[in-house]
């Protein structure tokens, strides 16, 4: 297109995010919600959630169990729970569908409905408009933000967790499957905060360490007054630059805030950090966004 940019792409480059209302239809949102209910109905609670807390050694095994469960979730569909929803025997204190925090990290590859959405023609077309030459999908998550207990997500940059050389090659697609409001935990952004690099990285810990990942560097104290809320209605898409600072508050409302989100990397002339928690596997190399 001879180097001209559409106004919305210009906005994305300025702000580090872009809101596209009604990108997906209500039907597409409902198909994802229905599918996730099916997945939950068939869910087996992971064993590390079921072990009783007793000795120190058990706790370490439990921690190791959850870290292995997390670290090896990149090519699978796995379940992560809110705090305080299981008793010490691993039984649910509330209905299981209300206890899940998120499901990740390979819905885009392992489930037909989420795969279809991730690679839908409108997503591919948007990738091309953004000038992505070799985009690959690195991870996906279904986030529930449960009523009353959906925890806050503190200010962060996605590139802290998904590091590339050079930076600037990670892009988040965040799809509201229900209206996201200030009450139920919509996203908040610092416009223009995507141009100063990153101050912190989450890396795989050395073998034998007590945790599976560790942080290098520190998160600066962000000024709360700089964040602006981005409420968005069902079907809306927010594009998130890998380095833009964003957060969400606790969901104190009585309605959930379901979201499907996935991250894409421009693979052309980019290297994926070997220290990232998430690694492609022989079973699931990062699939091309374009089909």
**Number of helices (H), then strands (E), in the chain:** 8, 15
Task: Give the sign of the dihedral formed by CA 184, CA 145, CA 247, CA 280.
Answer: negative
How many angstroms separate the CA atoms of 58 and 68, rounded?
Answer: 15
Q: What is the pLDDT of residue 51?
A: 65
User: Any idea how long the chain is?
Assistant: 291
* Tens of pLDDT, residues 18-75: 999 999 999 999 999 999 999 999 998 888 787 665 566 667 777 777 888 999 999 9
Site of tokens 């390979």? 106
* Tens of pLDDT, residues 130-182: 999 999 999 999 999 999 888 899 999 999 999 999 999 999 999 999 999 99
Region class of 145: left (phi > 0), else alpha (psi between -120 and 50), else beta: left
Domains located in the chain, CATH noted: 7-272 (2.60.120.620)
Do 204 and 277 meet the contact criterion of CB atoms below 8 Å apart?
Answer: yes
Q: Is the overall model pTM greater than 0.85, yes or no?
A: yes
Between 212 and 243, residue with greater pLDDT: 243
Between 3 and 284, residue with greater pLDDT: 284
How many angstroms separate the CA atoms of 15 and 256, rounded?
Answer: 28
Query: Which residue, 99, 132, 199, is CA-closest to 159?
Result: 199
CA angle 91, 95, 98 (to 5 degrees): 115
Query: Residue 2 pLDDT more than 50?
Result: no
CA distances from 274 to 160, 161, 264, 284 (A): 14, 12, 17, 16
Q: What is the pLDDT of residue 57?
A: 67
């Amino acid at each position: 297109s001879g180097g001209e940019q559409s106004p919305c792409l210009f906005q994305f480059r300025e702000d580090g995010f872009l809101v596209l209302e009604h990108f997906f239809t209500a039907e597409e949102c409902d198909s994802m919600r229905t599918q996730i209910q099916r997945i939950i109905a068939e869910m087996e609670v992971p064993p590390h959630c079921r072990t009783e807390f007793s000795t120190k050694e058990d706790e370490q095994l439990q921690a190791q169990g959850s870290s292995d469960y997390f670290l090896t979730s990149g090519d699978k569909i796995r379940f992560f729970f809110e705090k305080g929803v299981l008793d010490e025997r691993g039984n649910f204190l509330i209905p299981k569908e209300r206890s899940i925090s998120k499901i990740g990290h390979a819905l885009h590859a392992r489930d037909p409905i989420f795969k279809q959405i991730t690679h839908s023609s409108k997503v591919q077309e948007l990738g091309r408009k953004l000038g992505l030459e070799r985009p690959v999908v690195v991870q996906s998550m279904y986030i529930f933000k449960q009523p009353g207990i959906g925890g806050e997500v503190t200010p962060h940059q996605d590139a802290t967790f998904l590091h590339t050389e050079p930076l600037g090659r990670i892009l988040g697609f965040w799809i509201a499957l229900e209206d996201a409001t200030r009450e139920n935990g919509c996203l908040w952004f610092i416009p223009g905060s995507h141009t100063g690099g990153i101050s912190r990285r989450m890396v795989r810990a050395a073998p034998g360490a007590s945790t599976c990942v560790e942080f290098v560097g520190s998160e600066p104290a962000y000024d709360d007054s700089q964040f602006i809320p981005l409420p968005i209605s069902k079907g809306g898409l927010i594009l998130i630059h890998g380095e833009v600072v964003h957060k969400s508050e606790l969901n104190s409302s009585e309605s959930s805030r379901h979201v499907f989100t996935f991250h894409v990397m421009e693979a052309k002339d980019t290297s994926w950090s070997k220290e990232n928690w998430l690694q492609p596997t022989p079973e699931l190399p990062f699939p091309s966004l374009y089909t």
